[in-house]
Amino acid sequence: MPPVNLIGLLPSELEALARDLGTPAYRGRQLATWLYRKGVLDREAMTDLPKEFRERLTEVATLALPAVERVIASQDGSRKLILRLHDGGRIHAVLMPDEDRQTLCLSTQVGCGFACAFCHTGTMGLERNLTADEIVAQLLIANAELPEGLRVTHLVFMGMGEPLANYASTVKAIRIFTDTRHGFGYSPRRITVSTVGLVTGIEKLAREDLGVNLAISLHATTDAIRERLMPVNRSWKLEALLAAVRKFPLPTRRRVFFEYVMLDQVNSSLEDAHRLARLLRGVRAKVNLIPFNDWEGSEFRRPPLSTILAFQSVLLNAGITTTVRWSKGEDIGAACGQLSEVAEVRAAAGGSR
Ligand code: SAH
């Protein structure tokens, strides 16, 4: 067993660790404050902790972050952080600034096992789950990358991997992010978990009482089309998926997000738009249309702008809030579904910092 990494521990676990080491619990809270509030990882700098406690910590636990292998800046201001894990695995985290927001797109797995036909990450297959500390580390690294005084304001689990297939680590990381006393203190409203639609995972998440936003990667309006695009639809049909979504507890004025990648001649007709409006009847929904981000070897194309706008109009006319999400970081292979090794090589040829 490798020694425990401090940054994957809940503040309550850091308290317990302090007690185990013969120190009062509040020392663990102080430690959590250094790590998660101040982003300080250097034990030497934690001057209010007794030297002896700091030394004991070094003996029993590590405090390691993945290495930042490269940072690739996009013309639109987003930055892709390529991180190398201790075992050589690679993941990406993408920082997307937008007005006064700094959104960080987090990965939860190395690769992904769900093989959605339009997704480049899906071609990699699943290598492994990330541990909670590897998820938390992405935020610490991103914060350190931002200019003085700026912090990540919003977190979206939309990077590599399927968060609900790495359930325990995802939920633990969220608890560290949202712990208001000694964790990062993010409001759960600023956190969004996006899923291919794992119904059991959605049901489980509903019982956690985390209060985070849920995004469903829907992408089709019939089981036949969805099955072709997303093999996961063989396990849970649209009806089962939407039933789970309807039961998901939503705080007042909040909505479930539906991601819908626009693929020319596949799922973007007016008929699809009307069917989508019908499917979402009675669901407090917000739809994000994502024009397909092309990658080499893909069999799909982005529809013409007029098709995308016509699709959006149908939904708007049905009273459904619908935005078109022009992906960030397209030029650096950091856009939705482009997070894979090959995309990275191509992007690297473009420009790095
Ligand atoms: N596994 C989770 C998290 C990934 S989120 C999920 O599926 O929700 C990434 C989002 O980008 C998903 O909605 C995904 O379907 C979408 N996406 C994947 N490849 C894409 C592509 N090439 N163009 C546009 N969107 C894509």
Mean pLDDT of 238-247: 97
Identify the band that residue 347 occupies on the pLDDT scale cut at 50, 70 and 90.
Answer: very low
CA-nearest of 78, 6, 101 to 347 is 78
Mean pLDDT of 98-103: 94
CATH topology of 4-62 equal to that of 67-348? no
CA-nearest of 111, 165, 170, 185 to 135 is 170
Identify the band that residue 346 occupies on the pLDDT scale cut at 50, 70 and 90.
Answer: very low
Residue 326 pLDDT: 82
Residue 48 pLDDT: 96
Domain 67-348 has CATH 3.20.20.70: yes
What's the CA-to-centroid distance between 177 and ligand 1, angstroms? Answer: 23
- Two structure tokens written together for 160: 């590599």
pLDDT, tens only, 148-159: 999 999 999 999
Return the best residue to mutate from 114, 160, 194, 299 for the ligand 1 pocket (most ligand atoms within 8 A of CB). Answer: 194
Give the start-end residues of each E strand in 87-210: 90-98, 101-105, 109-112, 125-129, 154-157, 191-195
How remote is the C-alpha of 150 from its chain's centroid? 20
- Contact by Cβ (8 Å): 115, 235: no
Task: Round the average pLDDT of the chain to a whole number and report it.
Answer: 93
What percentage of the chain exceeds 90 in pLDDT?
88
Q: Which atom of ligand 1 is nearest to the CA of 336?
A: 11
- Any atom of ligand 1 within 6 Å of the Cβ of 194: yes
- Any atom of ligand 1 within 6 Å of the Cβ of 259: yes
* pTM, to two decimals: 0.94
- Any atom of ligand 1 within 6 Å of the Cβ of 116: yes
Q: Which atom of ligand 1 is nearest to the CA of 114?
A: 1
The packing angle between helices 25-32 and 11-20, to 10°, is: 140
Residue 330 pLDDT: 72
Return the best residue to mutate from 104, 105, 116 for the ligand 1 pocket (most ligand atoms within 8 A of CB). Answer: 116
Task: State yes or no: pLDDT of 348 exceeds 70.
Answer: no
CATH number of 4-62: 1.10.150.530
CA dist., res. 10 & res. 181, Å (int):
11
- Residue-range domain boundaries for the chain: 4-62, 67-348
